[in-house]
Each structure stands twice: as structure tokens, then as C-alpha cells.
Chain A
Amino acid sequence: MTVATDDLETLLDRAASGIAFDGLCIEESDDGYSLETPANEWTGLDEDELRRALDAADEYVTNWRYWQERVGGEGTARRAFLRWCERAPLADAESDDATTGPWSESGEGDANAGQDSLAVPERYDALRDGIDREWGQLSVTARFVDVEDPDGERVYDLWHVDDADSDIAELEVYDDPRDARELATYDDDGRYRPLKTAPTLPAGWAFTGLSGADLVETVEFFYPATVANWHRELRGNLDVDHWLETAERQTGIYDVIDELPREAVEWMAEACCVDSQCLRRREWQYEEGDELDADGGDGPFPCREPCSLVVAAARKWTTLESETEHTYELELTTSELNQLEELIDAVADGRTDEIREADVYDGANRYRARYLRAKRFDDDGNLGARQVDE
């Protein structure tokens, strides 16, 4: 028997006011108790019969206990996220209400959508092996504490998606959610990561056996506010602030950014907000009804307004875009022109570190760049382009 006596007593206490949760339905009426699961139905039970029937429906009972007594937090993002982790039906997933993201697409069987949720028996089977989900570069596993004789109690493991096949012995193991802050601060090259959702989270660590509350706290230290905004989207009340609203709200040194031209906002989104730079799914547009062409990405958590990095960069681009264009003349061979393009590509793609020392066939190779500078720059370090318009 896996249903603890305490669980039964709690359940009987609650039964008087009726229970309907995850397929478990208990009601008390003048005829006694009725108990219903998707597989069975009992009616007219006295208390002893109900106890015996509940023992036969033990998975539903321990599942009820875990969610209703242990996790609680009805209506919170924390609870919804933990439900999502084990592919449980999401009470909040009103796809009719959702205006953005996977929730707004009906019947597609999207990995993130509520449609492919698991009922209790299937979930209990899967939780014995562990159910894996991806949240940006995080891999979350929900599993039973006791696999042999599950009492419904879940724990959660968390590591980098790149470590999915790593031996846990090779990973640095943590158990305090706050450790995630430090792990998220630097990339593999030791550079500061001001944007937490940049796809540069280093691997090599693991959080194991976290409680549900600690899991959510840890995820929120890696990717702040992503759970809350995902939940809002799920409930159809994600408050998207488009570019113009965000820009017009700014004051001080950022007051100018609403002057950034429409086409520059497009280039900015393409430069900063695609998946290769940020894992949030951009839901903000130029303004309501005026969408940007740049790919917003397809990650699970939405981006509801331009972030502080975009705002700060926009200030620079606003200044740069206020300059007048000119026509310049300079001498270059066709290969040198191509090389300039290769150089820009290499920096834009963050590829410069990968270019081999002696790979002089790559236009962004350091020797190639130094050669071009030696040949084309004048004594003042300028490219020597002549402005030919007035």
C-alpha cells in the first residue's frame, strides 16, 4: 500500500466539500461517498469502502496530495511551471485567451502547448524515469524521490542542455538556488553576461534533488522573470509594450531613442533580438499593428518589451542615425572589398576567436587584417576614403 494514512485522513477531511483534481473526483452526498477516476467509478460508499477504493486509486491520491497539499499556490506561476515540467494539464492554459506565443496556436501539438499533457497514470510511469523539459539552455528533469514505491513526492534536477548526456560525476553539483547567480554571471570565456537570456550560459554544473519551490527560484536566478511572463502569456494577459511605447516612456539620456527611424528599429531587432543573441521570444513589435520582419524566435518564454540593453544600444544608434550619408571614394581590389565584408561578418557572428592563426584563406584572419591595414591605411590610421559629394 502506498497511500499513507495521513494522506487518507486529509483527503477524507476535504472530501466533504468535494474534490475534483487531475481526474480524481470525490463527492459526499446523502447516499454516501462517490469516487471517480478516468478508469473507475464507485458510488454509495461508506467511509471504510471509500478508504479501500482510494487504496485502489493510490496514484490519484498521492498525486492529489503532492499538488494540493505540498505545492499549493493555486493560480501562481510557480505552480503552473512545475505542472509544465511534468507535462501535467495546465489549469491556466486558456488557449482561447492567449494572444501571443504557442498558447495562441490551436491543435498544433506544439511541445510547449497544453495539448500533449499527460494524464496521471502516464505521468506516473514517466516520472519513474524522469520527465525532461527545456527552458532556454536549461534542462529540467522532474522525477519521483522514491522510484520503487512512489509516494507522489517529486524532486527536480537542473543542468545545462549541453550536459544532458554528461556523467553527473563530471559536473559541479549545487543545491542552493543562489549559486545560479554566480553561474549565470560569466560566459565560458570569462566575460560578463549582462543579458541573462543570451545563449552563452556555461555548462558543467548541476542542481539535483531540488524541491519545487527551489527549482523555480533557481530557474528565476538563471532567467529572471521568465516564469512570470510565460505564465501571463499562458493566461492570455501578457502585457506587451511595443518599441514606440517603450521608447516614448524614456527620460534622461534615453529620451532621444523615440527618434530612431522605423527601419533602424528593424535592423536593431535583427542585430540584437534573434535566437542567436537572446533566447527570449520577441513579442514586441514596432507598434501595435506594425510588425517587425526580424525573426522573434520560438523559445518557450516571451520577451514583452525592449530590454535595458536594447534601450541603451538604441541611444547609440539614434545618435549614429542622425548623421547624414555621404558618398566616398577609395581604391580597393575586388578581394579587398570582399574581405571587408568577411571582417564584418566575423565580428557580427562572434567568430574571430575561432579563426586559426595561420588560416590566411579567411579574410578575417588577423594577419590578413593587419596586411590590409598596412596597405590601405595612411600614416594617421585612416582608410583614406575621399568624400566626393558636398
Chain B
Amino acid sequence: MQALVIAAHGSHLNPDASDPTYAHADTIRETGAFDEVREAFWKEEPHFREVIRTLESDEVFVVPLFISEGYFTEEVIPRELRFEDWDPDKWESDGTSASQATVEAEDVGKTIHYCGPVGTHDAMTDVIVQRAETATEDPDVGEGFGLSVVGHGTDRNENSAKAIEYHSDRIAERDRFDEVKALFMDEEPEVDDVTDYFESEDIVVVPLFIADGYHTQEDIPEDMGLTEDYRLGWDVPADVDGHRVWYTGAVGTEDLMADVVLERAADAGADIGDAREAVRELAASVADPEPSAGAGAGD
């Protein structure tokens, strides 16, 4: 038997923080690729500390639903899951290249494959592009458009910015968008000045965050000048300094994220059969209709 654990942050205050985790877990449950699928959280239940013991499977794949390698993925999750002799070096990562490490947990006799975070997986690049498609409601969006990948950025963890830049570079290499630029909330270049960095009239802005919350639904829309007050909502696109800015919400809510989770587990040796195809088909079928955020923020 094999089990999948999706490890996410969760929230004591915001009930919506865990929605993407549940949604992606449910998508993967539907594929039947794993005998057991569990959500686990730092701030909700089941807590990281107690999730592994709820599983009957001997082989467990843990995929952190986090954007970058850093404090949570290198320190908190391994400690709370009680990995024996954990050392981030086991990932042999340059900051964005962690794939998996095989470890044992002290409280259960199980083999655990601890995967790198979803945010740094190559497949994440596709999710960002898909978010650009859903935000603009145009499956061929690219020509005439600038794309900005926005991250938190922080002085404490250089890997946070690395993940954003990694995907920006990969999208730029595809030559699909006229311009691609990584921007940040807490460091230069800042998202506040988004229109200064683009010549294209249309700019689609994709925040590389796992869940919608304060940053993606309050801070960033106000900082970019999409709205005076996030509670009033904003137009998609919104007119800012002669540009049209297309902004919806956290990329982590995109349906295709379930595919990234699956790929992480498959890279670590999980037998997932044709689950990826099923998830990609599902994501493509729901990508067509309408973008999921923007309007919601003002409701």
C-alpha cells in the first residue's frame, strides 16, 4: 500500500487557507492512484505531528504544498514528522532542485519519501501559464502580453526569490509572452511598480502563492493600484497607468496543481499509473469557463 500526504500551512484564523489543499487532495483521491490520501497542516488538523500514524500504508509520500525550500520544508516539516537523522543536505539541492529524500519517522515503522516543495517543480511553470490563461480567459494568451510572476521574497531566505526567478526564466525561454518579469512584495523589484517594468499594454500578473489570503487578495491588488480598497474588488483587467492588468489570485488554487503534487510523488517513486493524464484532462476541462477570483474578493 502507498499513501500520499499533502503537507500545508493552514490557518488558525482563515478557514479558506486550507481549501486548495483539500481540493488538490480530492482530485488525487478521485484518480485512485494512492490507497490513502491525507491532508496535514502546521496550523490545522491533522497536524504534521500526528498524520503519519493515521495511515495503514507502509510506504508514504510526503509532498509539501509550499512555494520554496526554506524554513518550513527544511526544518519544521521534517522535525514535526519526526524524520530520523534529517539533514536538508539529503535533498542535495541548489535551492530549487530538491526532488526527494528517503527517511524513516521515529514514531512509526514506515518508509517516507520526503519530496521537494511543489513550488519548485518544473511542472509548476505550466500551472503559472495556465493561471495566465484562466485569468485572461484566453487559452492562447501570450502575444502582446507581458507576464509577471510575483512572489513574497524575503531577506531571510534567498530560496524564496530563487523559485520565482526560476519559473520566470523558464517561461521567458518559451518565447510565448512578449515580456516576463519576476516581481516581489518585500524586495526589489517590487510589485507596486508593476507597470514600470512592462512595455506591453496587457500585463497578466500571477502570484506564486499556495492559498488566497491577505497577501494575494488584499496587499497585492492594492499595491498594484487595481483598487483603492480590496473590499470593493477590482476589474479583470483593471486599468493602471495606461496598462491593462489581469490579476486573479494565488496560483495554488489552480486545478493543475494536483498534477504537480502527483509529479512530485512520481519523481520519488510512487506508482501513479495514468493518474497524471486524468488530472490534466480534468484541469483542462475546468480551465475553460471562468477565472476563480477577483470578483470574489469584493463580495
Q: A: which residues have CB within 8 A of B?
A: 73, 76-78, 178, 181, 185-186, 192, 194-196, 220, 224-225, 227-229, 232, 239, 249, 251-252, 304-305, 307-309, 312
Contact = CB atoms under 8 A, between A and B. Distances in A.
B47 A194 contact: no
A182 B174 CA distance: 41
A308 B15 contact: no
A225 B76 contact: no
Contacts of B44: 194, 196, 308
Contact of A232 (B15, B53, B56, B76): B53
B26 A178 contact: yes
B93 interface: no
B50 A225 contact: yes
Contact of A224 (B46, B75, B76): B46
B15 A228 contact: no
Interface of B: 11-15, 22, 26, 42-47, 49-51, 53-54, 56, 71, 75-76, 79, 107
A278 B45 CA distance: 14
A225 B43 contact: no
Contact of B53 (A229, A252, A305): A229
A224 B107 contact: no
A375 to B, nearest CB: 35
Contacts of B50: 224-225, 228-229, 304
Contacts of A185: 15
A190 B79 CA distance: 34
B152 to A, nearest CB: 16
A224 B54 contact: yes
Contacts of B53: 225, 228-229, 232
Given A249-B79, A251-B75, A305 B49 contact: yes
Contacts of A73: 56
Contacts of A78: 56
For A194, A195, A196, A252, the residue with the greatest tally of chain B CB atoms inside 10 Å of its CB is A194
Max count, chain A CB within 10 A of own CB: residue among B13, B45, B75: B45
A249 to B, nearest CB: 7
B56 A76 contact: yes
23 contacts: A178-B22, A192-B14, A192-B15, A194-B12, A194-B43, A194-B44, A196-B45, A220-B54, A224-B45, A224-B47, A225-B46, A225-B47, A225-B53, A227-B54, A229-B50, A229-B53, A249-B79, A251-B75, A307-B45, A308-B42, A308-B47, A309-B12, A312-B12
